[in-house]
Amino acid sequence: MNPFTIDPNRLPLVTGEQIPGTMSQLMLLVILLGAVSYLLLQHGVLKSKMIAAAGMGVFALAAALAVSLVPGQLDAVVRMCFSLLAVAGGLAFITAREPVHAALGFATAVLSTCGVLFMQSAYFIAAATMIVYAGATIIIFLFVLMFAQKSKLRTYDVELSHPIVATVVATALMFAIAWSVTSPGEILPIKLDLTRPYSLAVPGEAPGKQMPPMPSTATSAEEYAAFVPSKTSGLGRSMFTDYLLAIELAGTVLLVATIGAIVLAQRTERDAT
């Protein structure tokens, strides 16, 4: 079997299987601990070195736990390595003193997450994350940090104005994510809606069916569907049919942000002159 094809038996979350209760409680505990220690860090009760030491301890524990729990498959081992690396990167991001080191820790976390996504066969999301976050966002961070490297850090760079509000909001968000991961709703099987021209219907995707010969130029919807039996095309179809409104809204938000950036840039220029 091609090692890069997806095996539905190995994806417990997609088939609606529940994560065991102790696991989800452990997740919530970890989030709460993180929130509390972050607040203590902000108030100066804890030093970042102590957090780093505690984090390394937890990290070693998690690594040991992971090694004992990992099923005996090569891809599971690789995936676990990526997950641990992601956690380590996040830890470095929070505890690093030098802003550039923090940014590099963030980059490590993002890239390792991409690795996890690759191991889950979510290729498109992984590549998109790599391009958008690792390739563009963090590089711009580094760009700004390099300009600011010689100047001393200001108080507003180090201290938050509302640490409690920030921590509460972040914790709530993390709880929401953990909840939606641990109790996934029922995922409906993909329906083959043949009445809509560009929907999830992808003839030729069914196992055992032979791919039709490629036409030199595909013109109709049917030809396209037959032409591209890949998961990425399924994602694209889904995005531009089932989630069209969300996509258009996101595009509009980005457009507004771009216009805002241009307006801001021009205003400072006019003020300066």
Answer for which of 61, 214, 250, 256 binds another protein (CB under 8 A) is: 214
Among 31, 88, 202, 228, binds another protein (CB under 8 A): 228
Tell which one of 178, 227, 238, 241 touches another protein (CB under 8 A).
227
Q: How far is the CB of 45 from another protein (least distance, A)?
A: 30
Burial letters for 97-107: b for 16+ Cβ neighbours within 10 Å, e otherwise? Answer: eebeebbbbbb
DSSP 31-53: HHHHHHHHHHHHTTSS-HHHHHH
Task: Fill in the per-residue mask, 230 to 259: x = in contact with another protein (CB under 8 A), - = not in contact.
Answer: xxxx--------------------------
If one asks whether residue 183 binds another protein (CB under 8 A), the answer comes out as no
* Cα–Cα distance, 80 to 84 (Å, whole number): 6
2 makes contact with another protein (CB under 8 A) = yes
Interface residue with another protein, options 4, 156, 191, 208 (CB under 8 A) = 4
Give the interface segment with another protein, choosing from 48-56, 126-134, 246-254, 264-272 (CB under 8 A).
126-134
Dihedral of alpha carbons 100, 56, 88, 174, sign: negative
Using CB under 8 A, which of 124, 178, 182, 238 touches another protein? 124
DSSP state letter for 198: T
218 binds another protein (CB under 8 A): yes
Closest CB 194 distance from another protein, rounded Å: 19
Which position among 77, 85, 96, 174 is part of the footprint of another protein (CB under 8 A)?
Answer: 77
Binding to another protein (CB under 8 A) within 134-153 occurs at: 134-136, 139-140, 142-143, 146-147, 149
Question: By the 8 A CB rule, do 26 and 65 touch?
Answer: no
In sequence order, the 6+-apart residues with CB closer than 8 A to the CB of 232 are: 123, 124
Residue 271 CA to residue 273 CA, distance in Å, equals 6
Cβ distance to another protein smaller for residue 98 or 159: 98
Distance CA 18, CA 68 (A): 21
